[in-house]
Amino acid sequence: MTSAQQSHPEIRESVRRLCADFPGSYWQALDRERAYPTAFVRALTEAGFLSVLIPEEYGGSGLGVGAAAAVLEEIHRSGCNGGACHAQMYTMGTILRHGTEAQKQKYLPAVASGDLRLQAFAVTEPTSGTDTTRIRTFARRDGDKYIVTGQKIWISRAEHSDLMVLLCRTTAREDVAKASDGMSVLIVDMREAVGKGLTIRPIRTMLNHATTELFFDNLEVPAENLIGKENNGFKYVLDGMNAERILIASECIGDGRFFIDRASTYAKDREVFGRPIGANQGIQFPIARAHVQVSGAAMMVERAAALFDSGAPCGTEANMAKMLASEASWYAADMCVQTHGGFGFAEEYDIERKFRETRLYQVAPISTNLILSHVATHVLGLPKSF
């Protein structure tokens, strides 16, 4: 057993017990209807798992990213999916690190208790792609409020969140010295915004991820909802992305171990020509390779989490952890389907659902190519390609 598997054993065991109440049949039913796992999210909230990163003074557990990673890994290894609520863990970090004391007191205790859901984080736009500096959603200051116009896409859980953290421009790109300047972060109260300047359009995708497109038409947001200083928002967003990437990587590790567990069990039980198919090296070796790759990626995730929790720079490690973990989980997913043969495509085996889910992580929240670009230019000193 690796050190990553041994970390936070009490938390892991508690998560496994909770997830046992939400078997594959629960998720399959939700998947068919594209429904939100309300009961599962409520159970995680009541158990305190979604508030592990919120300091005790605001009603949370005050634990580190390593503990949060253990929670999400076990959720995914158990066959559940943390995508419905993982942002509740890390999105609040923008408020915690850069918000005013009044904002922290107003929001964090309610987020910790589950009275408020902070699960939506709106950055991506249809025309900006991976170049966040080219977002066009604009917030114009008008007295004691901002007037927001624009559009966002691929925003998960907007329909199931009370609050949303919104990145928008407050100064036009052509009017700033650096392209990353001129952006600000606002807290949007979805309960007040929907139908009053904010329209949410669901996007049906290959996985049940509550993905939406948002349209802002002169939405009024109180100026007191500005996080930090105006025009400095890009820095605040970057600050929270390391935690996001580490935690997404931990979900990938959980997925990878789910697939390895399922493939190993099936290979032991399934008999062809009078013996288990697991006796054949053509079956053994891919499963073993998946285990090696997931174990190696897990060590990178653990390293990145340790750096984050110590306050040390960890941008490169967080990026590499996310890339290695997402690729390892995808290899394990493909291996698991191949091991099961035709049964891997059957809904009752609950492999195809997880197969679809884990493919996402090589694209979002950051693509593999963008990570490679970061390593090439920031670590290896290669010239930028644009």
Task: Supply the pLDDT for residue 2.
Answer: 46
Q: What is the CATH number of the domain that holds 148?
A: 2.40.110.10
Distance CA 368, CA 57 (A): 38
Q: What is the CATH number of the domain that holds 322?
A: 1.20.140.10
Q: What is the CATH number of the domain that holds 55?
A: 1.10.540.10
Q: Are residues 97 and 125 in the same domain?
A: no
| pLDDT at 5 exceeding the cut of 80 | no
CB 213 within 8 A of CB 156: no
112: left (phi over 0), alpha (psi -120 to 50) or beta: alpha
Q: Are residues 93 and 128 in the same domain?
A: no
Burial tier of 266 (Cβ tally within 10 Å: 0-12, 13-18, 19+): buried
The band of 386, judged by pLDDT with boundaries at 50, 70 and 90, is low
Q: Are residues 273 and 375 in the same domain?
A: yes
Section 367-373 average pLDDT: 94
The band of 350, judged by pLDDT with boundaries at 50, 70 and 90, is very high
Distance CA 386, CA 384 (A): 6
Decide which of 113, 133, 148 is a domain's last residue. 113
| pLDDT at 68 exceeding the cut of 80 | yes
Give the least confident one: 67-71, 87-91, 147-151, 323-327. Answer: 87-91
The band of 324, judged by pLDDT with boundaries at 50, 70 and 90, is very high
Q: Are residues 212 and 300 in the same domain?
A: no
Distance CA 260, CA 340 (A): 12
In this structure, what token pair is assigned to residue 88? 């509740």
| pLDDT at 340 exceeding the cut of 80 | yes
* Short-list 224, 221, 236, 223, CA closest to 98: 236
Q: Are residues 334 and 271 in the same domain?
A: yes
- For 157, the domain range is 118-231
| pLDDT tens track for 8-19 | 999 999 999 999
Distance CA 253, CA 70 (A): 10
Decide which of 231, 265, 297 is a domain's last residue. 231
Helix ranges, the chain (H): 3-6, 9-19, 24-33, 38-46, 65-77, 87-90, 92-98, 101-113, 190-193, 233-269, 281-310, 315-340, 352-359, 368-374
Helix axes 24-33, 352-359, angle to 10 degrees: 70
In this structure, what token pair is assigned to residue 224? 């007191």
* Short-list 195, 194, 185, 188, CA closest to 222: 188
In this structure, what token pair is assigned to residue 195? 């139908």
Decide which of 68, 88, 113 is a domain's last residue. 113
Which residue do the tokens 């979604």 mark?
50
* pTM recorded for the entire structure: 0.95
Output the average pLDDT for the chain: 95
Number of domains into which the chain is organized: 3
Omega into 383 within 30° of 0, i.e. cis?
no
Q: Are residues 31 and 150 in the same domain?
A: no
Distance CA 137, CA 216 (A): 8
Distances (CA, A) of 53 to 41, 89, 90, 355: 16, 6, 7, 29
Q: Are residues 280 and 350 in the same domain?
A: yes
Q: Are residues 246 and 373 in the same domain?
A: yes
